[in-house]
């Protein structure tokens, strides 16, 4: 195939899991002690805000104990050295892409290190806790919530994402389950627009049959190999 000129990449939990992030589907850890409807829905937050704020305070603090892996660093190298257009979209709310060196990351499900004010709707960088109801840096109201897209809420920047999917010539999905919409539908969007589609995953996903090609293996191995291939080194 010809060298791609415009690439859209979607990363999911699989790339963070290798860094030791406690993911939604992993056994043990924070998620196993909570029900999704309690900690990842607007209704759960309305019911028990302390539980939800504490849950995300713990997840935010846990980021200090994990490091980006070779897959994150390879994607940062791709951003630096690829001559064409690149859009890196992640479903992950951690900061491992940024700490791995990526400068432009579209967090479609929000970020742990960001606060969303329910009064003025401003998103502010956030590194501390929220359980004590700190004031919003912009409007001073004590109405901050985690800037994380919960079930039933609209992911960020969908217009920009669909526009990029329509014009890319290569779509690459890395470490995603292919089970959560709307991200699970990106491969069909890209294919319908005529681009090649590649899946890099630890094991076949629910969406594997939708891709032109699937390469199986740990992200820390298959992602650097693919980046080397694209950069011709
Ligand atoms: Zn505010």
Going from the Cα of 136 to the center of ligand 1, the distance in angstroms, rounded, reads 5
Task: Please state, in angstroms and as integers, the Cα–Cα distance from residue 65 to each residue in 19, 57, 118, 159, following that order.
Answer: 10, 14, 29, 34
Choose among 105, 110, 142, 146: nearest CA to 128.
146
Beta strands 144-148 and 110-117 are: antiparallel
CA of 124 to the centre of ligand 1 (A): 9
- Tell me if residue 97 is catalytic: no
Question: Closest Cα to residue 16, out of 100, 78, 82?
Answer: 100
Distance 55 CA to ligand 1 centre (A): 21
Tell me the CA end-to-end span of the chain in Å, nearest whole number. Answer: 17
Residue 206 is classified by DSSP as T
Q: Which residues of the chain have pLDDT under 50?
A: none
Which of 72, 109, 127, 212 does the annotation list as catalytic? 109
Q: Which two tokens stand for residue 37?
A: 């409807």
Q: Give pTM, 2 decimals.
A: 0.94
Write down the pLDDT at residue 27: 56
Contact 183/109 with Cβ under 8 angstroms? Answer: no
Q: Report the pLDDT value the prediction gives residue 25, as an integer from 0 to 100.
A: 57
Tell me, in angstroms, the distance from the centre of ligand 1 to residue 114's CA.
13
Q: Tell me what pLDDT residue 1 has.
A: 56
């Amino acid at each position: 195939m010809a060298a791609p000129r415009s690439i859209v990449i979607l990363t999911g939990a699989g790339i963070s899991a290798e860094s030791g992030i406690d993911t939604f589907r992993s056994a043990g850890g924070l998620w196993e002690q909570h029900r999704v409807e309690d900690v990842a829905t607007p209704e759960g937050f309305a019911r028990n805000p302390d539980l939800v704020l504490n849950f995300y305070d713990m997840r935010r603090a846990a980021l200090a104990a994990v490091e980006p892996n070779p897959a994150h660093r390879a994607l940062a190298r791709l951003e630096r050295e690829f001559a064409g257009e690149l859009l890196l979209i992640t479903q992950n709310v951690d900061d491992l892409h940024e700490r791995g060196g990526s400068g432009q990351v579209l967090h479609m499900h929000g970020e742990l290190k960001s606060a969303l004010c329910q009064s003025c709707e401003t998103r502010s960088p956030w590194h501390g806790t929220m359980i004590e109801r700190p004031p919003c840096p912009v409007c001073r109201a004590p109405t901050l919530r985690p800037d994380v897209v919960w079930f039933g809420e609209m992911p960020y920047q969908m217009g920009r994402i669909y526009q990029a999917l329509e014009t890319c010539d290569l779509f690459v999905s890395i470490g995603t389950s292919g089970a959560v919409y709307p991200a699970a539908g990106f491969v069909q969007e890209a294919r319908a627009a005529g681009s090649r589609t590649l899946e890099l995953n630890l094991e076949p996903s629910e969406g594997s049959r939708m891709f032109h090609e699937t390469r199986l293996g740990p992200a820390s191995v298959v992602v650097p190999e693919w980046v080397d291939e694209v950069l011709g080194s």
